[in-house]
Amino acid sequence: MTTLRAFTCDDLFRFNNILVLNPWPQYGIPFYLQYLAHWPEYFIVAEAPGGELMGYIMGKAEGSVAREEWHGHVTALSVAPEFRRLGLAAKLMELLEEISEKKGGFFVDLFVRVSNQVAVNMYKQLGYSVYRTVLEYYSASNGEPDEDAYDMRKALSRDTEKKSIIPLPHPVRPEDIE
Amino acid sequence: YAVRGQIYYLDNGNNKMAIQQADKLLKKHKDLHCAKVLKAIGLQRTGKQDEAYALAQEVAALEPTDDNSLQALTILYREMHRPELVTKLYEAAVKKVPNSEEYHSHLFMAYARVGEYKKMQQAGMALYKIVPKNPYYFWSVMSLIMQSISAQDENLSKTMFLPLAERMVEKMVKEDKIEAEAEVELYYMILERLEKYKEALDVVRGKLGEKLTSELQSRENKCMAMYKKLCRWPECNALSRRLLLKNSDDWQFYITYFDSVFQLIDESWTPPPEEEHSLEGEVHYSIEQAVKFIEERITEESKSSRPLRGPYLAKLELIRRLRYRGCNDEYKLGDPEELMFQYFKKFGDKPCCFTDLKVFVDLLPSSQYTKFISQLLEVIPLSATAESEIALPADIKALQQHLCVVQLSRLLGIYHAMDKKQKLTVVRELMLRYRHGLEFGKSCLKTELQFSDYYCLLAVHLLLDLWLEGEETAVWQCLTLLEEGLSHSPSNAQFKLLLIRIYCRLALMRNTYSTTPSGG
C-alpha cells in the first residue's frame, strides 16, 4: 500500500535506501533541489505504511510547442530493492504521463543505458519504443568506455498521428540533442 | 575579439593563458575593465585570492555599467563566495541607470542570494514600477512571506508581514489581474500561514483554484489539509472516501478516512435531513459503514489479477482502531493472526511483505508467536533433497516467502529466546540457505543484490548478538560471512556498512577504506 505524494526537501534525508543501488556517480543535492524548485509537480515519492520511502520519480517538461517537440522527460526513476515487484515503477510512470498530458505534451521520453535490458524491457511493456540511439551518452568514470543510450519515447494524445515516435534511421551524438 | 579569447581560455581551465592574454590587452588598453575582471578570475582560479580581489575592486570602485564587466564580476564574486559584493555592484549600477529592468532584476537576484528579504521586496516593487509584469509584483509578495518566516518576532509575522502580503494579493484579485498558478499558490500559502483556513478553502474551491493544474490532485490535497485544520470531519471523510474509490492503494487516505469516521462517531454526527451530507458528497459515520466500505474494497481487489495491498492492510488498521476503542469482537472482522496469514499467502513472495506485516505485529498476542510462524512455514513449498537435511525452496518465490518468515521470526524475538547452541544451529542453517539461494541469482548483474542476501545478513546479526553477549570468536565468523556475501553481491550496502562498523570496532582501519568507494 502506497502513499503517493509530492517529494519534499526533508525527503532528501530519508531516501538513501532508494539510491543505494544507483550506479556511480550519483546526483548531488543541488541537482535534486533544482528539479524541486523548477518542476515540483513531477517530483513524486511513494511511502509505505511503516513510513519507509519506497521509490521516486523526477522529471521535467521542455521543447518547442511550434515544432511539436514539447514533451515530458523522465530524469530519474528508482524503486528501493525491498519494494520491487509491486508495479510501483509503472504507477510512477503513469503519473508522470498524466501530468505531461495535462501540460499538453506531445510525448514522453527518457534515456536508458543500452546494456540495461531489464529497464529497456520494462519501458517497452509500458508502451515505450526506441526512437534513437545516442552514442557515448553515459561517460564512464573508471577508464571503461563510454556507453550508448537509447532515447525511448511514448506518444501522448496530442500527437494524433504518432509522428514523434517514428524511429530515426541512424544514431546521434550527445551534442546533437537539443 | 581578444576578450572572447580570454573567456575561451577560462572556460577551458587554462587560467595561465587567460592571465597572459589579459596582460597583453591591458598593455594596450589599460582601462579595459572586462579584461581586468577576466584576469582576476584567472588569478582567483590559480589560488591568488588577494590579487584577484584587489584587481576586482579596482574595477568595482569605478561603478561599471557595462554588461560584460558586471557579469564577469558576478562570476568572480560567486567563485570567491562573496555574494554580498554582487549586491553592491548592482546597487551602484541601478543608481546610474535607474530604468534598467535588467539591472534591477540582477539586483533582486543578488539580494536573494544573501537573504536580504526586505531589500528584495523593495527591488521587486521597483521593477514593477518600471515594467508592470505580474512576476515582479509577486516577487515582492514572496519576499514579504520570507520576511514573515524569518522574523524573530512571531507577532510581527502575523500582524505585519503576512497581512501586508495578503492585501497585496487581494488587490490583484479585485482587479482581476491574477494570471499564473504560482500566484494562487502564494495566496493559499499566505492564508494558511495566517491560519485563515476558511478563506484558503474558498480560494481553492473557487475560480482561482481552477489554476491549480500542474500537480496531480492539487486542489483535493489542499482542500483535505484545510478540512483537517477546520475539523470538518464530514468533508474529510467524504473526500477521502472518493479518493480511495479512485485509488484503493493510497495509505494516507485510509488513515484520514478512519480518523474522520471515529471523530464523527464521537460527535454522534448524523447527516442533515434532505440535504447533501457534505460539500464533498456522501459521508460514512458509523463503524458498520466503515467495515462495509473496507470489505467492498477487498472484494474489488480480489477480482484483479494483480491485487493491491491497500484494502487488506486497511482491514488490519481498522481492527487496531476498534481494539483501541475496546470494541473489536462485535464487528466480526476476524482475528488479526488469520488476516495476516491470509495476507502472507497472497503477498508473501514480495519483498515488502515483511515491512507491511511489521506494522501490525503488535496485534498478535505474544503467546501466539510460535504458532503463527509455524502456520506461515506450512504453506511455503519447500522440499528436502537427498543432499540437504533441510527443506529448501525450489524457486525464487518460495525463497522470498521463507525469507519473510525468517525476518518475522527475528522481529518477534523467537531467536532471542534461544540459547547459544540453538542460535549457532540457526546460523548454520541460514548460511546453508544462503549458499543454496545463490543458485537463483546466477544471472544477477553486479549492480543487483542476490536474492538470498538477507539469509547471510540475519546469520551475521545473530552472531553479532552472541558477540555482544560475550562470545569473543563470533565476530570473526561475522567478518568471514560478510566478506563472503560481499563477494557475491558487491553492491550490497548493508554488508559494507556492517563490515565498516565491525572493522572500526576492532580498530582495523586499513580495510575500512577499501570498502567505501562505491558509495554504498
> What cell numbers appear for B410 in the block?
527475528
3-class DSSP state of A51: coil
Give the per-residue pLDDT at B330: 65
CA of A5 vs chain B CAs: smallest distance (Å): 9
How many other CB atoms are found less than 10 A from the CB of residue B179?
14
Cell match 515582492: residue?
B140
Phi, psi angle pair for A149, to nearest 5°: -125, 150
SS3 per residue for B215-251: CCCHHHHHHHHHHHHCCCHHHHHHHHHHHHHHCCCCH
Note the pLDDT tens digit of each residue in A43-88.
999 999 989 999 999 999 999 999 999 999 999 999 998 899 999 9
In DSSP terms, which residues pair with A76 in a beta bridge?
A: A58
Give the span between the Cα atoms of B108 and B142, in whole angstroms.
Answer: 12
Interface size between A and B, measured as CB pairs under 8 A: 80
Contacts of A40 in chain B (CB under 8 A): 214-215
Q: Which residues contact A144 (CB under 8 A, 6 or more apart)?
A: none
ipTM over 0.95: no
**CA-wise closest residue to B110 among B141, B152, B82:** B82
B520 neighbourhood in chain A, CB within 8 Å: 20
Contact A85 B351 (CB under 8 A): yes
- Among the partner residues B213, B252, B493, nearest to A3 by beta-carbon distance: B252
DSSP state for residue A79 in the 8-state scheme: E
pLDDT for the residue numbered B520: 40
Q: Which of B275, B348, B342, B254 is nearest to B302 (CA)?
A: B342
Alpha-carbon separation of residue B173 from A127, B207, B437 (angstroms):
44, 11, 65
User: A92-148, pLDDT tens digit by residue?
Assistant: 999 999 999 999 999 999 999 998 888 999 999 999 999 999 998 887 766 778 889
Distance CA B21, CA B24 (A): 5
Cβ of A1 and B447 within 8 Å?
no
Cβ B352–A24 below 8 Å, yes or no? Answer: no
Task: Give me Rg for the CA atoms of chain B.
Answer: 33
Candidate from B221, B350, B519 with C-beta closest to A86: B350
Interchain contact, A24 vs B249, CB within 8 Å:
no
Q: Residues of B near A (CB-CB distance < 8 A)?
A: 213-216, 218, 221, 247, 249-252, 254, 306, 308-310, 313-314, 317, 350-352, 355-356, 358-359, 447-449, 491, 493, 518-520
Spell B121-144 as b/e; 16+ CB within 10 A means b: bbbbbbbbebeeeebbbbbbbbbb
H-state helical runs in B12-133: 15-28, 33-45, 49-61, 67-79, 83-96, 101-114, 117-130
Q: What is the 3-class SS of B310-365, one letter each residue?
A: HHHHHHHHHHHHHHHCCCCHHHCCCCHHHHHHHHHHHHCCCCHHHHHHHCCHHHCC
The CA-based angle B236-B241-B247, given to 5 degrees, is: 125
pLDDT, tens digit only, all 520 positions of chain B: 667 777 777 777 777 777 877 787 777 776 777 788 888 888 888 888 888 888 888 888 888 888 888 988 998 899 889 999 999 999 999 999 999 999 999 999 999 999 999 999 999 999 999 999 999 999 999 999 999 999 988 888 889 999 999 999 999 999 999 999 999 999 999 999 999 999 999 999 999 999 999 999 999 999 999 999 999 999 999 999 999 999 999 999 999 999 999 999 999 999 988 888 888 899 999 999 999 999 999 999 888 888 899 999 999 999 999 988 888 666 678 889 999 999 999 999 999 999 999 999 999 999 999 999 999 999 999 888 777 778 899 899 999 999 999 999 999 999 998 999 999 999 999 999 999 999 898 887 777 788 899 999 999 999 999 998 888 889 999 999 999 999 999 888 899 999 999 988 887 655 554 555 444 4
Stretch A36-48: mean pLDDT: 95
Peptide bond into A25 cis (omega under 30): yes
Q: Which residues of A touch B113 (CB under 8 A)?
A: none
Q: Please answer yes or no on whether B250 and A2 come within 8 Å at the CB atom.
A: yes
Strand ranges inside A53-173, DSSP E: 53-62, 71-79, 107-113, 129-138, 147-155
| Identity of residue B374 | S
Q: Verify whether the Cβ–Cβ distance A1 to B249 is below 8 Å.
A: yes
pLDDT for B519: 42
* pLDDT score, position B328: 67
| Distance, CA of A117 to CA of A113 (rounded, Å) | 8
Percent of chain A with pLDDT over 90: 72
Q: Quote the cell numbers at residue A64.
A: 518547442
Pick from A3, A23, A82: CB nearest B352 = A82
The label of the residue with cell 523593495 reads: B122
Q: Which of B488, B484, B394 is nearest to B445 (CA)?
A: B488
The β-bridge partners of A160 are none
Nearest to A82 among B313, B355, B520 (CB): B355
C-beta atoms of B216 and A85 within 8 A: no
In the numeric block, the cell 545516442 is attached to A134
- What is each CA distance from B357 to B279, B339, B421, in whole angstroms? 36, 10, 29
CB contact under 8 A, B251 and A3: yes
Place of cell 505504511: A49
B455, three cell numbers: 539469509
Instruction: Work out the pLDDT band at A22, boundaries 50, 70, 90.
Output: low
| pLDDT value of position A100 | 96
CB contact under 8 A, B251 and A95: no
* Torsional class of B10: left (φ above 0), alpha (ψ -120 to 50), beta (otherwise): alpha
Helix (H, G, I), strand (E, B) or coil at A46: strand
